Amino acid sequence: MTKRVTIVDYGLGNLHSVIKSVQHFGAEVEVADTAERVSQAERLILPGVGAFGDGIGHLRNRGQDRAILDYAAKERPLLGICLGAQLLLDESEEFGRHHGLGLIPGKVTEIPREHVRVPHAGWGKLVGGPVGGNDPLLREIPEDSWMYFVHSFQLQPAAPSSILRICQYGPHPIPAVVKRGLVYGCQFHPEKSGKTGLILLRNFLDL
Amino acid sequence: MTASVKSSLASPPPRIIARLDIKAPNLVKGIHLEGLRVIGRPGDFAKRYFEAGADELFYQDIVASLYQRSSIVDLVKQTAEMIFVPLTVGGGIRSIQDIQTMLRAGADKVCVNTAATTRPEFISEAAAIFGRQCIVVAIEVLKQTSGKYLVFTNNGRQSTGLEAREWACRAVDCGAGEIVITSVDREGTRRGLDLGLIEEIVGAVGVPVIAHGGVGHAGHVLEAVRLGASGVAVAKALHSDALSIAEIKNHLVAAGVEVRR
């Protein structure tokens, strides 16, 4: 059966790569630039490159923020990528304080600049978070799998149990995969993380 | 923070970046950013480097800045369909709209040079919209007989009068999330990277620094990594098959440097 996936288009970011990577598995892709299309989705990806304030502002201007909340209330799978993952949390301190979607309790904070270069840009290994485990999103993605990160701010979920995987960056454990119910966030870019990243997207299509 | 402290800042495992200079529709290569020769179709090379384990691809449209046009959007789109590693695109990026176009075509980061030196506020404006991690500033440097590293634009033809270190710091203050430093003297020569230049820039800024210009063998890459470069961009040595990505990574691993496999 052909899987259908809807990708939220809010005017920012590299939609093309996300679209192509899910089409890789034969999924039927719909790009949703309106609130209606978002709320009607069967499976939703919230991509994103950019600053938090701009991102949430664009979602609000199009009414897509409420549509995403409506969608998530139906307990359907949602995957936020990079900025898209950060937008799932309550708030961010990037260029001032901004409220997020609040689907995963917690906030987005700056990566401490001690001992490391920021932005965190490059490949990092996924290792077990406090929970680790056998989440279906991480099927066939073993410990120490490499993923591509490029970010200056990090996910800080309130509940440690929300963190499925981290990436150790110098002394800083960076939350890499977070989850609450069927709402997932990846700090890295699975669509840019070679074959391993594609496996994660395939797993998402199978949820 | 002092320079020595910045030199010791950790990076993720070093990225081996395949750099493709493009004069649409061709992949070209010259020496000292001049005397361009057509090498082949960029897509073929991009795919080959992706399969070979390149950590990132870098497309530089080398005519855009001179002729005020940018023609590689289609190429970026085609590449993003088959390449699932990050892609940085530079050349002729002058406006927020240019950045938007490249990102929507599938680029992950954009690289600015001339537009940034002419108007540094462009970096701040772009970083505020797209996030600083998205904005790479390219710095082309010619070493002067006095030993000073001076910044040039337009493929090393136009002097800005700026010193490399000073400009790198300014660019980062404005919001650059990464610096790609090209030694025009070494570019295309395979004689080795300008280590003095790399050391100076790595010690001056707290963002990732990518070294480019002059890699001839795997040992050259290791030298830059040891100095704290977050990545090394290789062009001619890869295109001519003088060096492979596997050779570079094997050499780094043998020297105790972790790389992505």
Interface confidence, given as ipTM, is: 0.90
Residue A51 has pLDDT above 90, yes or no: no
CA–CA distances in Å: residue B248 to residues B16, B192, B209, B234: 8, 14, 18, 10
- Selection from B72, B66, B15, B67 nearest residue B43 by Cα: B72
Minimum Cα–Cα distance from B15: chain A residue: A122
Winning range, highest mean pLDDT, from A6-15, A50-59, A131-140, A166-175? A166-175
With contacts defined as CB-CB under 8 Å, which chain A residues touch B232?
A: none
With contacts defined as CB-CB under 8 Å, which chain B residues touch A149?
A: 12
- Selection from B45, B112, B31 nearest residue B78 by Cα: B45
With contacts defined as CB-CB under 8 Å, which chain B residues touch A195?
A: 84
Chain B nearest CA to A118, separation (Å)? 5
Q: Which residue has the higher pLDDT, A129 or B34?
A: B34
Residue A126 has pLDDT above 70, yes or no: yes
Provide the terminal-to-terminal Cα distance of chain A, rounded to the nearest Å. 13
Q: What is the mean pLDDT of chain A?
A: 93
For residue B54, give the 3-state DSSP assignment. coil
b/e A60-83 (16+ beta carbons within 10 angstroms → b): eebebbebbeebbeeeebbbbbbb
User: Can you say whether the dihedral through the CA atoms of A205, A47, A187, B93 is positive or negative?
Assistant: positive
Residue B186, pLDDT score: 94
Winning range, highest mean pLDDT, from A41-50, A122-131, B69-78, B222-231? B222-231
pLDDT confidence band for A131 (50 / 70 / 90): low
CB contact under 8 A, A194 and B85: yes
For residue B52, give the 3-state DSSP assignment. coil
pLDDT in tens, B145-157: 999 999 999 877 8
CA–CA gap between residue B222 and residue B248 (Å, rounded)? 8
CA–CA gap between residue A68 and residue A39 (Å, rounded)? 6
Average the pLDDT over A176-190 and give the result: 97
Residue A165 has pLDDT above 70, yes or no: yes
Q: What is the pTM of this model?
A: 0.93
Residue B7, pLDDT score: 87
Residue B1, pLDDT score: 46
In chain A, which among 40-99 make CB contacts under 8 A with chain B? 49-51, 54, 83, 94-95
CB contact under 8 A, B177 and A14: no
Which of B129, B131, B206 is the closest to A117 by Cβ?
B206
CA–CA gap between residue B193 and residue B197 (Å, rounded)? 9
For residue A206, give the 3-state DSSP assignment. helix
The catalytic position among B56, B61, B98, B140 is: B140
Chain B nearest CA to A179, separation (Å)? 24
For residue B167, give the 3-state DSSP assignment. helix
Torsion angle of C-alpha atoms B17, B23, B29, B34, degrees rounded to 10: -120
Residue A132 has pLDDT above 70, yes or no: no
Residue A16, pLDDT score: 84
Cis peptide before A190 (omega within 30 of 0): no
B interface mutation test: which of A148, A168, A195 has the most B CBs within 10 A? A148
Residue B32, pLDDT score: 77
Amino acid at B161: G
For residue A146, give the 3-state DSSP assignment. strand
- Selection from A50, A124, A139, A136 nearest residue A86 by Cα: A50
pLDDT in tens, A66-85: 999 999 999 999 999 999 99
Q: List the Cα angle B74/B117/B233 in 5-degree steps.
A: 55
**Which residues of chain B register pLDDT less than 70?**
1-4, 64-71
- Selection from A149, A130, A161, A157 nearest residue A190 by Cα: A149
B223 given a catalytic annotation: no
Question: Percentage of chain A surpassing pLDDT 70?
Answer: 97
- Selection from A136, A70, A128, A55 nearest residue A103 by Cα: A70
Which of B206, B231, B260 is the closest to A113 by Cβ?
B206
pLDDT in tens, B47-92: 999 999 999 999 999 876 555 455 688 899 999 889 999 999 999 8
Residue A204, pLDDT score: 97
CB contact under 8 A, A191 and B130: no
Residue B244 buriedness (CB in 10 A; 0-12 / 13-18 / 19+): middle
Is the Cβ of A148 closer than 8 Å to some Cβ of chain B? yes
Contact, A38 vs A8, CB < 8 A? yes
